[in-house]
Structure 1
Amino acid sequence: MKGIVFSEFIELVEEKFGLDIADTIIEESDLPSQGAYTQVGTYDHTELIQLVSKLSEHTEIPADDLVKTFGEHMLQRFVALYPQFFENVDNCFDFLDTIENKVHVEVQKLYPEAELPSFDSMKSENGMQLIYRSNRPFSALAYGLIRGSATYFNEDIDIEMDDQSSDGKSFVVFTLSHKN
């Protein structure tokens, strides 16, 4: 997993919970990297799971809720760091429809070794379905990114999450619809 994800997570923890909590969760986790992340480095995704778990213990906020919040934060950071992904797109569903065939293509050019999840999208007149597949258990992060994109485009959407994961592989169907 790319270091930008880790460094943004630590930044969010410092911002929302303070430097002391960030230091504590790093110290209490068994991290091969020792919590020294660079944005272009590559790290084992289990380090992020450990950090989230420790943060959940200290804040008493469920881990999935923390990861969803992190997903929203990441969307804001993507807007700031990669504004080209949001050009010529004027709504949440159109943006989400570009993830697999535009955003991930460009990410692979920048980071050829990155292991990205896949997003198959199907739009309809009533909404959209996104099928998330990954070798890592980060569907809550995808949920947060979806919610963050709705916020960015100032849209009020419902997000239903049907988790069909098995054998350690994430497979989640997100059904999105505009609130009436």
Structure 2
Amino acid sequence: MKGIVFTEFIDLVEEKFGVEMVDTIINNSNLASNGVYTAVGTYSFSEMLSLLRNLNKETGIAINDLLLIYGEHFFSVVEKSYPYFLTQYNDPIEMLSSIENHIHVEVRKIYPDAELPYFMVVEKTETTLIMIYKSSRAMSSFGKGLMNKTFEHFNTNATILVENIKENGTEVKFSIATHG
């Protein structure tokens, strides 16, 4: 998992819960990196799981809720560091439907060894989108957080329904409809 995902997570924890919480979750996790991350480094997903589990234990906030908050936070990284991902599109449905065939292609140019989730568009209209998310990491809530902020960025209201296809969350159906 790319280091930027870790550095931004640590920034979010510090911002929302304080530097003491960062120290607590790092100290309570058995991390090969010792909690020292660089944005361009690559780290084991097990470290992210450990940090999430310890943050869940300390705060009582469900891991999927933490991932949703983190996905919403991570959108600001996209806005600041990769604004061209946003300026190429006029509406959120168009942008989200291009994740696999355009956005992830561009991400792989920046981070060739990035392990990204797979998004398959099942159905798309001007106001609806159905996509299947597949990832061994089961981080669809992070994706939903990014989607929430995408709609906000385009000043569009939407309902995003998430349905597990596989019980463990490694395959999920997103049903999205814009309104009002």
TM-score (norm 2): 0.94
Deviation at 1:96, TM superposition (A): 0.6
The Cα RMSD (Å) is 1.4
Runs of 4+ in 1 over 3 A off after TM superposition: none
Deviation at 1:12, TM superposition (A): 0.5
1:136 counterpart letter in structure 2: R
| Alpha-carbon distance in structure 2 between the residues aligned to 1:98 and 1:86 | 11
1:57 aligns with 2:63: no
Q: 1:72-103: per-residue Cα shift (whole Å, max 9, x none)?
A: 11112111110111113122111112211111
The residue number in structure 2 matching 1:72 is 72
Give the length in aligned residue pairs. Answer: 179
The residue number in structure 2 matching 1:40 is 40
| Alpha-carbon distance in structure 2 between the residues aligned to 1:169 and 1:153 | 28
The residue number in structure 1 matching 2:11 is 11
State the SS of the aligned residue for 2:22. Answer: helix
The residue number in structure 1 matching 2:31 is 31
2:91 counterpart letter in structure 1: N
The residue number in structure 2 matching 1:90 is 90
Distance change (3 Å), C-alpha of 1:126 and 1:78? closer
Q: 1:3-32: per-residue Cα shift (whole Å, max 9, x none)?
A: 000000000000111111011101101111
State the SS of the aligned residue for 1:178. Answer: strand
Deviation at 1:108, TM superposition (A): 1.0
The residue number in structure 2 matching 1:81 is 81
Deviation at 1:165, TM superposition (A): 2.0
| Alpha-carbon distance in structure 2 between the residues aligned to 1:175 and 1:169 | 15
Deviation at 1:152, TM superposition (A): 1.4
TM-score (norm 1): 0.94
Distance change (3 Å), C-alpha of 1:169 and 1:56? closer
The residue number in structure 2 matching 1:179 is 179
**What runs of 5+ residues in structure 1 fail to find an aligned partner?**
none
2:138–2:171: 8 Å Cα contact kept in structure 1?
Answer: no
The residue number in structure 2 matching 1:148 is 149
Deviation at 1:43, TM superposition (A): 0.8
Distance change (3 Å), C-alpha of 1:106 and 1:125? closer
| Alpha-carbon distance in structure 1 between the residues aligned to 2:96 and 2:25 | 32
Deviation at 1:169, TM superposition (A): 7.1
2:3–2:41: 8 Å Cα contact kept in structure 1?
Answer: yes
State the SS of the aligned residue for 2:132. Answer: strand
The residue number in structure 1 matching 2:20 is 20
The residue number in structure 1 matching 2:159 is 158
The residue number in structure 1 matching 2:101 is 101
